[in-house]
Amino acid sequence: MNIAPEVAQALADNRGVVALESTIISHGLPRPENLRVAIEVEAQVRANAAVPATIAILDGTVHVGLNDVLLDQVANRDDIVKVSVRDIATVIANRGSGATTVAATSHIARLVGIDVFATGGLGGVHRDARHTWDESADLTTLGDTPITVVCAGVKSILDVGATLERLETLNVGVLGYNTTSFPGFYLRESGFPVTWSVSNPGQVAAIMGARRSMQIATGLIVAYPIPETEQLDPDLHDRVLQDGLSLATQRGVKGKDVTPFLLDHFHRSTHGASLVVNTQIILRNADLAAQIAVAFAAAADR
């Protein structure tokens, strides 16, 4: 494992560090926007006096914190596989290269002592899970990994209600940030309520501290909705989603290909509109995550 010097120093000095996933770069966004967004997200974290730690596996080495050359490789190499927790060891042993999902990124972040993580939207229970049993390992991983994840809810391609039920079962905390409505990723609202609402980073840091002292070793989701003015047009969203779901079934897309397939379908069918929203979501989440990381690093009870 290689921890970038800047990240190692920040952890040693007890300054705010924000983990960032790499599947979003390799499989979630098209080239060349993927690299541009990856760079902007890191800058957004730094703008809040925190240190970004993008996580990926390159040629058998787990990297926590990527320099420009490595970030470019994640964005542009054709041999980058999507790595969940169960794939980490195999990819390392094979000296392979992969981009880490929310699940794999959370696992590695905790291993090195990072408390806060920013992404776009979590994985969850797929709409046809009753038949396919397709549920993201993001959920079970957050069920046993004490990390705070800032996201815009779960991807709207999923069964949001079922995902919220699973999060409850798995003891994963869910906080709405300035909202009592669980966000809908591309949309401000998913139509489901959230029980607990917070309105500043210090409040989240206090909850993180209380979780630690109570030894609640599961994940905490900070659900941060996009403003209504910036969301994807809901009618367009619903239309594109229905098309994408039938196309995925028609083409027999399965397993870990489903999420990248649907995201790509969105980016194409909305002629880039979903890409703009997706980018905004990630930047906003990185911004808030950095503030939370700084607040928690400064807290007495961490």
**Partner whose footprint covers residue 33, from Mn ion, ligand PSU, none (CB < 5 to 8 Å by kind):** none
Residue 6, exposed/middle/buried by CB under 10 A (0-12, 13-18, 19+)?
middle
Using CB under 6 A as the binding rule, whether residue 259 contacts ligand PSU is answered as yes
E strand intervals along 59-180: 61-64, 81-83, 98-100, 116-118, 148-151, 173-177
Query: What is the closest distance, in whole angstroms, from the C-beta atom of residue 137 to Mn ion in the complex?
Result: 8
Using CB under 6 A as the binding rule, whether residue 198 contacts ligand PSU is answered as no
One of 21, 33, 42, 189 touching ligand PSU (CB under 6 A): 21
Q: Which two tokens stand for residue 183?
A: 């966000």
Query: What is the closest distance, in whole angstroms, from the C-beta atom of residue 23 to ligand PSU in the complex?
Result: 3
Interface residues toward Mn ion, by CB under 5 A: 134
CA distance 181 to 191: 7
Specify the pairing of strand 148-151 against strand 116-118.
parallel
Residue 23 vs 231, nearer CB to ligand PSU: 23
Query: What is the closest distance, in whole angstroms, from the C-beta atom of residue 184 to ligand PSU in the complex?
Result: 13
Site for ligand PSU in 46-75 (CB under 6 A): none
Residue 23 vs 190, nearer CB to ligand PSU: 23
- For residue 57, the cross-strand partners are 62, 98
Residue 12 vs 227, nearer CB to ligand PSU: 227
CA distance 283 to 169: 30
Residue 231 vs 259, nearer CB to Mn ion: 259
CA distance 208 to 219: 10
Closest CA to 1 of 77, 101, 113: 113
Site for ligand PSU in 104-123 (CB under 6 A): 119-121, 123
- For residue 135, the cross-strand partners are 125
Distance set, CA 231 to CA 26, 51, 155, 203, 222 (Å): 24, 28, 13, 26, 18
* Element holding 154 (H helix, E strand): none
CA distance 283 to 288: 9
Query: What is the closest distance, in whole angstroms, from the C-beta atom of residue 21 to ligand PSU in the complex?
Result: 5
CA distance 134 to 153: 18
Using CB under 6 A as the binding rule, whether residue 138 contacts ligand PSU is answered as yes
CB neighbours of 33 closer than 8 A, spacing ≥ 6?
275, 279
Instruction: Please indicate whether residue 21 is annotated as part of the active site.
Output: yes
One of 136, 163, 190, 270 touching ligand PSU (CB under 6 A): 136
**Partner whose footprint covers residue 159, from ligand PSU, Mn ion, none (CB < 5 to 8 Å by kind):** none
Place of tokens 């990072």: 114
Count of chain residues binding ligand PSU (CB under 6 A): 20
**Partner whose footprint covers residue 102, from ligand PSU, Mn ion, none (CB < 5 to 8 Å by kind):** ligand PSU
Write down the catalytic residue from 33, 82, 135, 155. 155
25 three-class SS = helix
One of 7, 10, 18, 28 touching ligand PSU (CB under 6 A): 28
**Partner whose footprint covers residue 21, from ligand PSU, Mn ion, none (CB < 5 to 8 Å by kind):** ligand PSU
Instruction: Enumerate the active-site residues.
Output: 21, 155
- The site for ligand PSU (CB under 6 A) is made up of 21, 23-24, 27-28, 101-103, 119-121, 123, 136-138, 155, 256, 259, 263, 278
